[in-house]
Amino acid sequence: MLSKKTYDRLGETVYQTTLTNGLKVLMVPKAGFHKTFAIMTTDYGAMDNEFVPRGQTASVRFPDGIAHFLEHKLFEKKDHDAFDLFGKYGASANAFTGFTQTSYLFATTSHLKENLEILLDFVQDPYFTAATVNKEKGIIGQEIQMYDDDPGWQSYFGMIGHLYPKEPLHIDIAGTVDSIDKITADDLYAAYNTFYHPSNMNLIIVGQLDPEETLAWITANQDAKTFAPNESITRIPSAQAQPADIVPTTTRHLTLTRPKVNIGLRGFDEVPAGRDGLTYSVAVSLMFDLLFNDTGDNYLRLYDANVIDDSFGYDFQVQRGAHFAQLAGDTDQPEQFASELTAILKDAPAQLAAAKLQFDLVKREAIGRIVGAINSVEGIANQYDGPLFDGATIFDELAILEQLTFDELLTAAKAFLDQSQATVYTILP
């Protein structure tokens, strides 16, 4: 029932199983650790705002921000707040909503069984009323406004909005003050019933734990509940922007001391399915290291010319239905920042060929980064992308990275860059 995969050199073991109700459970015991971290995730996020509600036949377009709203409201029950239940045991609980997932988590150093039951019970027992939904609108309204004052947030989401002008990604994950005002308790139930079925969720537990005992607790909890039969979910794909729809440059003004530039690069190529997708993701990330990290010539040249400084950073991410890179930083020379970095990207094939000798170096660095993440229970759990990469864990990612060749990197880099489209998003004082 419980499958076991060991990673000998790392001294780590992953236990996993899928319960009869469809819930996928994955456990990683960590010897010597005091803490246990558990995170329960549904494959549902801000992107999924049009779908066929479970039990119905027609699709419905829901107000923007509904996934995030649901996340907030799931904690509140008729006579208590689930948050307080964790508090009784001193555990810290939290939740977050992304474009393609919503997660509920806790960390504890005692009473794992009780905390797990609280997590499973509050996630699996929704309670939404008109009164509680309306009260939440004030709190989330404040949250949205807080991000209005955060130039870093504005820069990142401004960039994403221009990469995905027709997709739901162009709207804040939390929605807008107007859109959340339209959300009703019935909407929340429709979304909940569709996406919070155990078969659309996974539960990862890492840290101080006994796998057999922990699974027995979870199984007993789940067996005592009744779930609707598992049905496939019909998401209605949003409109898709074409490369020509992406505005090359945008400038806006905010009060801040230094200009911020964020260059987004959207991939229009197809990410390979399953584990190959992870290899692709690792390879493209390393490509950015080769082109832009501080071991390279580009970085030093631009740093010495004051085009970039210590605030410069970049990343590449793959999510369900979207993959993109960002290169961002504060700079007093926003135009040079954009033109220099864009020129490097255009010249990438030649640049990469010239940087071949640095491949082992950036690979070593990436290996070190992953080994460092394995030190933390959160690092292990958060690296799990569920169905996206066919259940690969951080340990699988390390193995993929160690085996990656320079040619594989070039192939992935070409696939991504050849069909990518850039947007430059600048915020000026």
Partner 1 sequence: MHFRIKDGVTLDLLPTKQFKTIGIKVDFVAPLQATAITARALLAQVLETSTAAYPTQKALARELSRLYGASFGISVIKLGTKHVIRLTCSLVDEQYLDNFNDQQPLFEQGMALLKEVLFAPLLPNGNFDPMTFTQQRQNLLTAIKSLDDDKQYLANRRLQELLFTGQPTQAMSALGDTHVLNDLSATDVLGTYHDMLANDAVHVAVVGDVDEDRAQAAMADWPLADRTITDATPYYRWSLRDHVQNGDDEAPVVQAKLNLAYHLPIYRDDADFMAAVVFNAAFGGTPLSLLFTNVREKASLAYYASSGYNPFTGTLSVQTGIQAENQQRVEAIIAEQLTAVQQGNLAEDLLAEVKASLLNARLAALDSPQRRLTGLLNTQLTHLHEPLADWQKKLDAITVADVARVAQQVTLQATYCLHGGVQGAK
Distance CA 36, CA 217 (A): 15
Residue from 17, 83, 233, 245 that binds partner 1 (CB under 8 A)? 83
The reply on whether position 145 binds partner 1 by CB under 8 A is yes
Which of 251, 339, 375, 405 binds partner 1 (CB under 8 A)? It is: 375
Beta-bridge partner residues of 28:
206
252 sits near partner 1 (criterion: CB under 8 A): no
> Residue 415: which residues within 8 A CB-CB, separation 6 or more?
269, 280
* Reduced 3-state DSSP string for 147-177: HHCCHHHHHHHHHHHHHCCCCHHHCCCCCCH
Q: Which residues pair with 421 in a beta bridge?
A: 266
- Measure the CA–CA gap between 98 and 385, rounded to whole angstroms: 12
| Binding residue (CB under 8 A) for partner 1 from 6, 20, 56, 110 | 110
Residue burial 53-91, b: 16+ Cβ < 10 Å; e: rest: bbeeeeeeebbbbbbbbbbbbbbbbeeeebbebbeeeeb
Q: Is 376 in the site for partner 1 (CB under 8 A)?
A: yes
Task: Determine if 109 is a binding residue for partner 1 (CB under 8 A).
Answer: yes
Size of the site for partner 1 (CB under 8 A): 69
Should residue 78 be labelled a site residue for partner 1 when binding is judged by CB under 8 A?
A: no
Is 71 assigned a catalytic role?
A: yes
Taking CA atoms, 137 is separated from 72, 172, 347, in Å, by: 10, 15, 48
Minimum distance from CB of 110 to partner 1 (Å)? Answer: 7
Left, alpha or beta for 167 (phi > 0: left; psi -120 to 50: alpha)? beta
Does 313 participate in binding partner 1 (rule CB under 8 A)? no
Structure tokens that stand for 392 in this block: 């690969």
Contact call for residue 364 and partner 1 (CB under 8 A): yes
Query: Closest Cα to residue 55, out of 240, 189, 202?
Result: 189
Q: Which of 113, 258, 275, 414 binds partner 1 (CB under 8 A)?
A: 258
Residue 156 makes contact with partner 1 by CB under 8 A: no
**Minimum CB distance to partner 1, residue 145 (Å):** 4
CB of 299 to partner 1, least distance (A): 7
- Compute the CA torsion angle 278, 281, 283, 289 (nearest 10 deg): -140
Stretch that binds partner 1, among 47-55, 189-197, 263-271, 371-379 (CB under 8 A): 371-379
CB of 68 to partner 1, least distance (A): 13
Among residues 160, 216, 174, the alpha carbon closest in space to that of 45 is found at 174
Residues 199-218 close enough to bind partner 1 by CB under 8 A: 207
* Residue of 6, 11, 130, 216 interacting with partner 1 (CB under 8 A): 11
Helix (H, G, I), strand (E, B) or coil at 369: helix
| Residue 5 touching partner 1 (CB under 8 A) | no
Q: Are 425 and 162 in contact (CB under 8 A)?
A: yes
Question: Any contact of residue 402 with partner 1 (CB under 8 A)?
Answer: yes
Specify burial of residue 270 (Cβ count, 10 A radius: 0-12, 13-18, 19+): exposed
Q: Is 178 in the site for partner 1 (CB under 8 A)?
A: no
Query: Which CB sits closer to partner 1, 238 or 351?
Result: 351
Nearest to 272 by CA among 411, 165, 92: 411
Of 12, 71, 76, 136, which residue is the catalytic one?
Answer: 71
Closest CA to 324 of 391, 271, 365: 271
Q: Which of 78, 131, 138, 407 binds partner 1 (CB under 8 A)?
A: 138
- Of 254-262, 276-284, 334-342, 406-414, the segment contacting partner 1 by CB under 8 A is 254-262
Asked if 371 interacts with partner 1 (CB under 8 A), we say yes
Backbone angles phi, psi at 392, to 5 degrees: -65, 145
Q: Chain-centre distance of CA 299, in angstroms?
A: 27
Beta carbon of residue 88, minimum distance to partner 1 (angstroms, whole number) = 6
Q: Which residue number, 22 or 141, has a Cβ lying nearer to partner 1?
A: 141
C-alpha–C-alpha distance, residues 241 and 46, integer Å: 17
Residue selected from 56, 251, 306, 317 as contacting partner 1 according to rule CB under 8 A:
306
Q: Which is nearer to partner 1, 227 or 299 (CB)?
A: 299
Q: Catalog residues that contact partner 1 under the rule CB under 8 A.
A: 9-11, 31-35, 81, 83-84, 87-92, 107-110, 135, 138-139, 142-143, 145-146, 148-152, 207, 254-258, 293-297, 299-300, 303-304, 306, 309-311, 330, 332, 361-362, 364-369, 371-372, 374-377, 402
Which residues belong to the active site?
A: 71
